[in-house]
Copies of this chain bind each other. A is one copy, B any other.
Amino acid sequence: MKVWKTSLVVVLLGIWFSSALGADPRHEIHFPNLPGTQTLVCDFHMHTVFSDGQVWPTTRVDEAWRQGLDAISISDHIEYQPHRDDIPTKHNRPYDLALGHAHVHNLLLIKGTEITRDTPPGHFNAIFLKNVDPLDTPEFLDVIEEANKQGAFVFWNHQGWKGEEAGRWLPVHTTMFENKWLHGMEVCNGSTYYPSAHKWCLEKNLTMLGNSDIHVPDRREKSTSENHRTLTLVFVKEQTIDGVKEALQEGRTAVWFDDQIIGRQEILEPLFAASVRIEPPHVRTDRRIWFQIHNTCDADIHLERTGKLGPASLELPARTTILVKIDVKDPKSPLELPYRATNFLIAPEKGLPVVLKVPGVE
């Protein structure tokens, strides 16, 4: 670089950096913490110009910041680099370029990569890596073993993306599973839900993940019930990279996909309980009560009655309050109303059973 350029670079860099900083405000995502843990909103699968994505690595930090995420992993393909003629391969570079930007944005950046072979066996993300370079080796299982040597958390991406036949469970997956080299699966990737992945996570005790797999710029300003990335809620004991890893290893996750929350019953039960607040009835007549229900989280909740009392269905849009009227025999008694949260999936097509408890007069 010539002298007359240097000073310019410094000046422009300063301007660019300061104007980029905080250009977008951050819109926090609202999901309650569960007892003993803190809820982090995470996306462990995304791409940049360093593989087949369209943005510079720091842009992934900007997007995550403004949309209210807490942790991300940039996971560029090892084997597929269509921009190689212009951007020579450096597997660790996207992480290195984004790290400082993530740091000042108070975002946890987890080093990761996507192992991108034919399907089958399919694509796999390895995250919490120390060095991506040793994973660039011909034999598939060598790559998986190397990732595990580095202590990575390995998950199977978009299992059925080429159809159920191409995404079937094969001996190679059994090998991975039995060696404890496979730790989770994407139950949802982008706009697609994979019921087989969901089922296997339950059967084999694999961790459930939901990720965006974004290649294009993510244009969303914020994360709302109507328009958000596919994301993983991670219930951590501490808000650190190690904390995220521990929670993933222990399976303490839920997937926020479209208008659904997907996870194990023991996770979704306290999540529902902490999200929904029922007020004591504010009007009680001889035979009727009126009360309010607050949905304090960013996901809509759809309820269907499974008992005999209460409206046949209840819609609780994200972060709103609804009014409920019930005809009762004794307006002073407490009520327990059995419902099913049809969009809180504890198994494929199986909604979470819940009980709405309406306080009585004390």
Where the two chains meet, the residues of A that have a C-beta atom closer than 8 Å to any C-beta of B are: 2, 4-5, 7-9, 12-13, 16, 18, 20-23, 25-28, 49-50, 52-56, 58-59, 62, 65, 79-80, 82-83, 86-88, 90, 93, 97, 103-106, 116-118, 138, 215-217, 219, 221, 282-283, 290, 292, 294, 315-317, 319-325
Contact = CB atoms under 8 A, between A and B. Distances in A.
Given A80-B9, A87-B86, A106-B292, A26 B324 contact: no
B80 A86 contact: no
A12 B323 contact: no
Contact of A322 (B25, B87, B217, B323): B25
B321 A25 contact: yes
Residue from A86, A93, A104 whose CB has the most chain B CB atoms within 10 Å: A86
Contacts of A319: 27-28
A282 B2 CA distance: 37
Contact of A49 (B7, B49, B294): B49
Contacts of A49: 49, 56
Contact of A54 (B56, B90, B325): B56
Nearest to A105: B323
A323 B22 contact: yes
With most chain B CB atoms within 10 A of its CB, the pick from A103, A138, A217 is: A217
* From A49, A82, A90, A292, residue with most partner B Cβ within 10 Å: A49
B103 A283 contact: yes
A37 to B, nearest CB: 20
A55 B52 contact: no
Interface centre among A55, A65, A315, A324 (most CB of B within 10 A): A55
Contacts of A320: 25-28
B216 A62 contact: yes
A219 B4 CA distance: 35
A58 B221 CA distance: 22
Nearest to A282: B106
15 contacts: A8-B79, A12-B52, A12-B80, A22-B324, A25-B321, A25-B322, A26-B292, A27-B319, A27-B320, A28-B320, A28-B321, A49-B56, A53-B56, A54-B217, A86-B87
B28 A283 contact: no
6 A-B pairs closest in CB distance: A217-B217, A25-B320, A219-B219, A26-B321, A22-B323, A54-B56
A82 B9 contact: yes
